[in-house]
Amino acid sequence: MQKLMSHAVGIDQGEAVLFQDFQDGGSMWTGDGHRERRQRIRFSEKFRKRPVVHCSLTLWDVDSSANVRADVQADRIGDDGFDIVFRTWGDSRIARARVGWMAIGEVGGPGDWDV
Residue 68's closest CA among 85, 84, 89, 86? 89
Sequence-separated (6 or more) residues with CB below 8 Å from residue 24: none
The mean predicted confidence, pLDDT, of the chain is 92
At 113, is the pLDDT very low, low, confident or very high (cuts 50, 70, 90)?
low
Average pLDDT over residues 43-60: 96
Measured distance CA(110)–CA(64) in Å, rounded? 52
At 11, is the pLDDT very low, low, confident or very high (cuts 50, 70, 90)?
very high
Alpha-carbon distances of 94 from 25, 39, 72, 110, rounded to whole Å: 11, 17, 13, 45
At 115, is the pLDDT very low, low, confident or very high (cuts 50, 70, 90)?
low
DSSP SS3 for 27? helix
